[in-house]
Structure 1
Amino acid sequence: MHMNGQGAGKTPSNPARVFRVAGWVVDPPSGRISRGAEAAQLEPKAMEVLEYLACRPGQVVSREELEAAVWHNRVVSYDAVTNAIIKLRKAFKDDPRHPQIIETLSKRGYRLVAPVGQLEECTETTETANHDRARAQTRNRWIRVGAATALVVLVAAVGALFWQSPWKVTVGTGGDQARLKSIAVLPFANLSGDHSQDYFADGVTDDLITGLAKNADLLVIARDSAFVYKDQPLDVRQVAERLKVRFVLHGSVRRAGRQVRINAQLIEAASGAHLWAERYDGEMDAVLNMQDKITQNIISALAVKVGGGERQDLGAPLTHSAEAHDHFLRGRQYFYLYLNRAENKKAREFFHKAAQADPNFAMAYAMLAWTHVFDAMNGWSDKPEQSLRNANDLAARAITLQKALPVAYFVAGLSYRERGEYAEALVEAEKAIQYDPNYANAHVLLATLLFYSGRPQEGLERIQKAIQLNPHHPYNYSFHLGQAYYILRRYDEAIEAFKRSIESSPTSERLHVWLAAAYAQSGAIQEAKWEATQVLTLNPGFSQVRIQKTFPFKNPADREHFLDGLRKAGLAQ
C-alpha cells in the first residue's frame, strides 16, 4: 500500500477538496494521502469513511451512521466499516492500541482524534454553497419529474411481480438485491397477563421463523437476533435498519385456557405500510394449523413462488398433538436459555415427554439429540462419548421420520465434529443448509469445517453469510471470522475480529491464543507477547500439542502457519 517517493510531490487534482490530517495531505479525488516522501493510495470506501470522520473531528460516529452515510443503507457485511478503518490505520501507520489518528470506542463507534485542517468541503464558502444548491435544485426538478413517471411504471411492475413471479434473492452477503425479500420475525407479545405463558408466545415466534427460513427465496433473520427485541419498545423502521431487512412480522398471542388468539401483521419497514394483517381464533388443537396458515399467507404476500412439495413442508405442523407441542415449547424455552447443566436437563425432560406424547414427532427427537451434544460440548456429561452416540442415534431417528429437517442434520454435524469425524460433519452441515438456507448456526458450523479442510475462502464466505443472517450474533461468530482472516493471512482484519470477540468473552483462552498468533504474524511482537501472557495466566498448563488437537487442520501448511504464529508470540511449549 505504501509508496516511497514516486508521485509524492504531485499537485492534488482538486485543491478545493484537499485537507490535512495530522501532517498528512489528503486528496479525496485522487484517493491519495501523502506526507513528505511517503504516499499511500486508499480504496474509495476507505476514503469516504475518512472524509466523513474528518467532517466531524472529535465526534464519536457509530458503525450504523457510517454504513448509512458511506454505503447509503446498502446491505453490507458486518465488517465492512471495520475493514475500512483497518485500511486507514495501515495507510496512516496508526497503532490501534495507542491511536493518534482514529480511535475505536468499544460498542460506540469511531472518532478522528487527529487535528484536521483546510477542510473546505465541510465548511463551504457562500459562493460554492449557493452554486451547489442551484445545481441541486435544477437536478431535483428533473428527478421529481422522472420519479413521477417511474413510479407509475414501478407500481405496475411490482404488481406483476407480486402476483406472477418471485423476487430472487442472491446468495451473497452484500448488495441491495439481498434486501428485497428479507424479513425479521420479532417476538410475538404475550397478552395473556401471565408470564408463565411466555414460552407459548415465544414458541409461536420460533415456529414461524423456522417455517419461513426454509424458503431459499427469503432471507430470514436468525432467532438469536430477533429475540434481542423481546419486551422492547417497537420502532419497526429502526429495528429493520439494524437488522438490514425490508419486512418485519410482529404480533401477539393471547391464551385463556384452551382458547388461543393470534394476531399477526406484516409491515414494509421503510414506508410503514401494512402488507397483510390477520387474526386467528381457535382452540389449542388448532394452533399448529394457525401457524401454518400464517406462514403460507406471508409467503403469498411476499410473492414467493413455491413448488408443490416445498410449499407443503414450509409450514407443515411439527406435530398434530397439542400435548406434545406444549411439552416441546416448554423444552425449547429452557434449552435456549443456554445457562447450565440443570436447565439443559430440564429441556431434555420436556423433549422426552413430547416424543412420548407423539412418537412420530421428529423435531422433538432432533432437539433431544441437541441436548446430548450440549452436555458433551460443555463438559456437563460424565460420559461424553456416550452422549455423542446418543445424539447421533436420536438425530438419525428424527431424519427417518422427517427427511427435510435441518436441525437434525445440524446436530448430527455437531456430534460428528466433536468426535473428530470432520468429513462426515461437513456432509451433515451442507445438508442442513440445503433444507434451510437461512440457518445461521449451520453456516457457522460449515465455515469451521471448511477452514480445517483447507478451504478458508469458502469458510470466510459462510461466516459472513451467518453474520448477515444473525447480526446480533454471539462472540463465536467474530472468533470464526478472525480464524478465516488469519488463515488467509489478512492479519489486521483477524486482529479486529478477535478483539471484538474478547470484548464479549474476555476469559476465553482460545481467543487470546489466536489473537497472539495474529499479532505475531502481523509483526506486532510486543502485543503478541502480551497476549501470550494472558493465555498463560488463564491456563498455566498451555500446550501446543493440545491446541493442535483442538484445531485439526487437514492442510499441513495451515497447521504450520498457525503454530509459527504461536512460536513467534512465545507460546512454544
Structure 2
Amino acid sequence: MGTRLEFGPFRLDADEGILFHGAEPTPLGKRAVLLLALLVQRAGAPVSKDDLIEAAWSGQAIEDSNLTVQIAAVRRTLADISGEPRWIETLPRRGYRYVGPAVATPGPDRASAASGIPPLALPDRPSIAVLPFANLSDDAEQDYFADGMVDDIITGLSRINWLFVIARNSTFTYKGRAVDVKQVGHELGVRYVLEGSVRKTGTMVRITGQLIDTATGVHVWAERYDRRLEDFFALQDDIALSVVGAIAPSLRRAEINRVKRKRPDSLDAYDLVLRAQPDVDSGMPKQIAQALVLLERAIALEPDYALAHGNAAMCHHCLFLRAGLQEINRSASIRHARSAITHGQDDALALTLAGFSIGMDGHDRSAAFTALGAALAISPSSALTYILGSVMLAWGGDADRAIEWSERGIRLSPLDSWAFAAFDAQAMGHFHRGRYEEACRAAYRSVQANPRHSITYVQLTAALVKLGRLQEARAAAAQVLELHPAFRYSRQFQGVNCAPALALSLGEALRIAGLPE
C-alpha cells in the first residue's frame, strides 16, 4: 500500500500512523489511521469488515464493535475539521466505502493511486474523454456556459462512428477537481483526454484546449480561440474539428463534416436548456418542476427546439411515474416527445429522450426503438441511449438484450449519473431469467448509485423474497413506501406496460413482502 495519500485538505502518512491537516497532525489514533488508509487507498470501492480488521488488528480476534468505534472516530475527525459530513459510507452487511474527495499520491506516479478503480482495457478504436472546461470568467454563474461548450464538443465527437467517446455524465464527475490525465485515462479507459478553459468577458470569449495522450502525457494538440460571442456555435465546431484532426489526420473531409450539427437559432433558448439540464437529470419531482419552467420558456422562444421538447418529455415522464400516475403528465410526455422527434432528426439526445417517453408512457416500443436507432446512427457513443433503452427492454421482458444494452451503456460512461437505471435494468433482466442472486447484486448497485429512486427498491424487494430473505425484503419494501407513499404495484406495472409474465412474477414476490397491489 502507498504510504502517503492526499485527499481534500488532508494528508495521510500510513507508515507513521499520522493524519495531517495541512502541516498540523490531527488527534486521530494510529489504529484509526490504518483503517482510513485502507479505505482511502481503495476509494470508491467497498472494503469488507474482515479486511479492515486485519489492517488495524492484524491476527487478533476482536468484536465488530471495536471497528465501529474506530470508524466513528475517523468520521468525526474528518467532519469536524473539514466541515463536510460525508466521507465514509456504511454498506450494510458488507463493510464501508470511502466517498470523499479524489485521492492522490505525491510524486510523479499519481496514476498508480487510481482511486481504487481497476483499469479499463482500451477500446479497439481511438478513445477520448472531454473533461469539464474551467470557467475563468469573473462570474461563477457562467459555469453553465463553459459546461455547454463541453457538451457540444462531446456531441460533435460522438457523431464520428470510428471514435469511442466517454459520455459527459462520467467526465463531469471530475468537475472542480485537480486531476492527472494519466489517472483519468486509467479510470475511464481512454487514450486521449481533452481539457481546456473558457473566459467570457462582455461580447468576447476566449477558449483554450489541449489534447493529451494519457499513456505518455504528451500534448498531441493545443489551440487558443478568441471570438465574438455571436460566433459561439462556430467556435464549438472549430474545436471539435481540430480534436478529430489531431487524432486521425488522414480522416476524409466528408467524415470531419459530420461533426457539425444544426444549432438552435436563439442563444437565449439554448441558455435556458443548459440551465434546466441538471434539474432534468435529477429525476426528483421538485427539481423537475423547476426545470419545466425554464424549458417552457425555451420552447416559447423557439417552438421547434428539439432538445427542449425532449427534456420536457423526460420531465413529464418522471412526474407521471413519481407524482401519482396522472394522465396530464403522460399525455404531455408523449406530446413533447413527438415534437422532439419531428424537429430533432439530427439530435441524438433529443431522439433518445423522446424515444424513451414514447416507449414508457405511450407504450409504443416499436416507435421508441426506431427513435433510439436513429440516435445511435447519429451518435454511436451515446451511453444514455443504451441505458434508457435497457430500461424499456427490461420492462418489456427482453431480459438478455436489456442486460446487453445496460452493460454497453455503462462501458461508454463508467461513472454515469444514470448508472442506477442501467443496474435497475440488469436487476429486472436477471430476475426475469430466475437468476435471483445476480438480480439482488444489481439492485444493490442501483440503490447505492441512487438511493432516492423508489423503483429500484421494488426490484430489490422481489429478488430478496425469491431468495427467502424475507426480513430484508420487508425492509426494502418499507423503503419503497417511504420514497413513494402512493405506490401500488399493479398500477405501476400498468403505467410502464410491464410484460405480463414479469408482472406476474414480480407481483407475487411484492405481495409476499407486504407491498400493496
The residue correspondences of 1:227-376 to structure 2 (distance < 5 A) are 227-303=172-248, 309-316=254-261, 318-319=263-264, 321=265, 324-338=266-280, 340-352=287-299, 355=302, 364-376=305-317
TM-score, normalised relative to structure 1 = 0.64
Structure with bigger gyration radius: 1
The offset of 1:227, in angstroms, is: 1.7
The offset of 1:179, in angstroms, is: 6.5
Amino acid at match of 1:563: G
Residue 211 of structure 2 aligns to a residue in which SS?
strand
Tell me the residue number matched to 1:104. Answer: 94
Report Cα offsets for 1:104-159 as digits up to 9, x if no partner: 334349xxxxxxxxxxxxxxxxxxxxxxxxxxxxxxxxxxxxxxxxxxxxxxxxxx
Are residues 1:561 and 2:505 paired? yes
Tell me the residue number matched to 2:350. Answer: 408
Once residues 329 and 449 of structure 1 are traced to their aligned partners in structure 2, the CA distance between those partners, rounded to angstroms, is: 31
Once residues 305 and 523 of structure 1 are traced to their aligned partners in structure 2, the CA distance between those partners, rounded to angstroms, is: 60
Report Cα offsets for 1:432-464 as digits up to 9, x if no partner: 122211212111121122223332111111111
User: In 1, are the aligned partners of 2:388 and 2:422 still within 8 Å (CA)?
Assistant: no
TM-score, normalised relative to structure 2 = 0.70
Tell me the residue number matched to 2:497. Answer: 552
Report Cα offsets for 1:207-262 as digits up to 9, x if no partner: 10110112222221212222222222232222332222221101011122222211
Report Cα offsets for 1:497-550 as digits up to 9, x if no partner: 222332354454322221111112223333224433444555666534224314
Q: Given the superposition, is the C-alpha separation of residues 384 and 280 from structure 1 closer, same or farther in structure 2, using an over 3 Å criterion?
A: same
The offset of 1:310, in angstroms, is: 4.5
Report Cα offsets for 1:67-93 as digits up to 9, x if no partner: 9xxxxxxxxxx99x99xx9xxxxxxxx
Q: Given the superposition, is the C-alpha separation of residues 64 and 292 from structure 1 closer, same or farther in structure 2, using an over 3 Å criterion?
A: farther
Once residues 278 and 181 of structure 2 are traced to their aligned partners in structure 1, the CA distance between those partners, rounded to angstroms, is: 25
Tell me the residue number matched to 1:207. Answer: 152
The offset of 1:495, in angstroms, is: 1.4
User: In 1, are the aligned partners of 2:391 and 2:422 still within 8 Å (CA)?
Assistant: no
Of 368, 371, 384, 1:428 maps to 371
Once residues 250 and 390 of structure 2 are traced to their aligned partners in structure 1, the CA distance between those partners, rounded to angstroms, is: 29
Tell me the residue number matched to 1:491. Answer: 436
Once residues 184 and 276 of structure 1 are traced to their aligned partners in structure 2, the CA distance between those partners, rounded to angstroms, is: 15
Amino acid at match of 1:404: D
Unaligned runs of 5+ in 2: 1-33, 52-91, 100-118, 281-285
Q: Given the superposition, is the C-alpha separation of residues 494 and 307 from structure 1 closer, same or farther in structure 2, using an over 3 Å criterion?
A: farther
Q: Given the superposition, is the C-alpha separation of residues 308 and 521 from structure 1 closer, same or farther in structure 2, using an over 3 Å criterion?
A: farther
Q: Percent identity?
A: 29
Once residues 353 and 533 of structure 1 are traced to their aligned partners in structure 2, the CA distance between those partners, rounded to angstroms, is: 42
User: In 1, are the aligned partners of 2:120 and 2:187 still within 8 Å (CA)?
Assistant: no
The offset of 1:62, in angstroms, is: 6.7
Q: How many pairs are equivalent?
A: 414
Tell me the residue number matched to 2:416. Answer: 473
Of 400, 403, 418, 1:457 maps to 400
Are residues 1:418 and 2:408 paired? no
The offset of 1:377, in angstroms, is: 2.4
Q: Given the superposition, is the C-alpha separation of residues 538 and 407 from structure 1 closer, same or farther in structure 2, using an over 3 Å criterion?
A: closer
The residue correspondences of 1:135-174 to structure 2 (distance < 5 A) are none
Once residues 553 and 289 of structure 1 are traced to their aligned partners in structure 2, the CA distance between those partners, rounded to angstroms, is: 45
Once residues 255 and 330 of structure 1 are traced to their aligned partners in structure 2, the CA distance between those partners, rounded to angstroms, is: 18
The offset of 1:391, in angstroms, is: 0.5
Once residues 249 and 557 of structure 1 are traced to their aligned partners in structure 2, the CA distance between those partners, rounded to angstroms, is: 47
Of 368, 380, 391, 1:448 maps to 391
Residue 279 of structure 2 aligns to a residue in which SS?
coil
Are residues 1:522 and 2:461 paired? no
Amino acid at match of 2:192: F
